């Protein structure tokens, strides 16, 4: 069984300030023109999967291309987040405006924090990673919103790395890829029928299942081979400059299906 293909996605290109984004290692330097070219290739891959992509104007915040962190979009509602990095909180107003009319929006109040990169949906559950960017109060705020759509939040500790989805992601409803030590924690909270596939490359832990295909970073060829061997249709995407900013496939877009009320115009 495949994941349903999102019908719509919101993206934002890297800005002229992208090289100043928050990242673990300051070297090598980021090539902004190449980052923009790679982002355009990512958008093309989404559109090739049949997704309608809304491209927002550039934002002067260095990390603003990583739109996934700024909202969690569910069936009828959305939580506009309070990012864990203080410098990213200026990004959320424009995302709230982009979601207006598409979902019932809740703006997350202080003091809790949550990044969308710490939220992985599997069916009627949201696995929320408690990380350096997401705390318990943030998970609780999301749980209140998600209950509107009868979706339950479960939490796991993220002992290292930036986000939960830096170390794992959903390929199909029955398959999750994982890199590193997070597998044991996931096994304790996920349905036993879900297969956890350990992948050899860190960049292979973040893939994007889109209906009949899965996007994989070209930096993770062995992960791509493992997924092809399981009969999956793999499309590789070049993301070297996105990875330099500690980003990956999922964090470059907000993906969702439209509600009837939002899109009957």
Report yes or no: 214 and 207 within 8 Å, Cβ to Cβ: yes
Tokens for 72? 């969690």
> Residue 143: what are its φ and ψ, rounded to 5°?
-60, -40
Q: Is 163 a catalytic residue?
A: yes
**CA gap 64, 90 in Å, rounded:** 9
Q: Kindly report whether the peptide bond that precedes residue 44 is cis, defined as omega within 30 degrees of 0.
A: no
Other CB atoms within 10 Å distance of the CB of residue 68: 28
> Residue 166: what are its φ and ψ, rounded to 5°?
-75, -20
Sort strands 52-55 and 8-11 into parallel, antiparallel or unpaired: parallel
End-to-end CA distance of the chain: 32
* Active-site option among 163, 235, 243, 264: 163
Q: Is 251 a catalytic residue?
A: yes
**CA gap 260, 265 in Å, rounded:** 9
The owner of tokens 């107003």 is: 93
Nearest to residue 66, comparing CAs of 166, 139, 147? 166
* Residues forming the active site: 163, 251
């Amino acid at each position: 069984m495949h994941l349903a293909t999102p019908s719509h996605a919101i993206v934002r290109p890297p800005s002229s300030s992208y090289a100043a984004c928050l990242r673990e290692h300051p070297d090598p330097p980021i090539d902004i023109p190449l980052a923009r070219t790679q982002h355009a290739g990512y958008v093309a891959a989404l559109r090739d999967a049949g997704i309608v992509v809304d491209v927002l104007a550039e934002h002067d915040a260095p990390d603003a291309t990583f739109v996934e962190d700024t909202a969690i979009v569910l069936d009828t509602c959305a939580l506009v987040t309070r990012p864990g990095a203080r410098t990213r909180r200026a990004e959320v107003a424009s995302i709230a405006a982009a979601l207006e009319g598409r979902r019932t929006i809740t703006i997350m109040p202080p003091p809790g924090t949550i990044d969308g990169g710490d939220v992985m949906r599997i069916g009627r559950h949201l696995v929320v990673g408690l990380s350096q960017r997401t705390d318990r109060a943030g998970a609780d705020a999301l749980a209140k919103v998600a209950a509107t759509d009868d979706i339950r939040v479960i939490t796991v500790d993220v002992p290292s790395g930036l986000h939960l989805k830096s170390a794992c992601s959903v390929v199909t409803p029955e398959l999750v890829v994982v890199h590193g030590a997070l597998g044991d924690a996931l096994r304790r909270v996920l349905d036993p029928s879900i297969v956890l596939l350990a992948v050899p490359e860190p960049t292979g832990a973040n893939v994007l299942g889109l209906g009949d295909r899965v996007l994989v970073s070209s930096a993770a060829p062995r992960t791509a081979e493992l997924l092809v061997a399981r009969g999956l249709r793999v499309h590789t995407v070049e993301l070297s400059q996105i990875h330099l900013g500690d980003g990956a496939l999922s964090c470059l877009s907000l993906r969702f299906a439209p509600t009837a009320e939002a899109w009957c115009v």
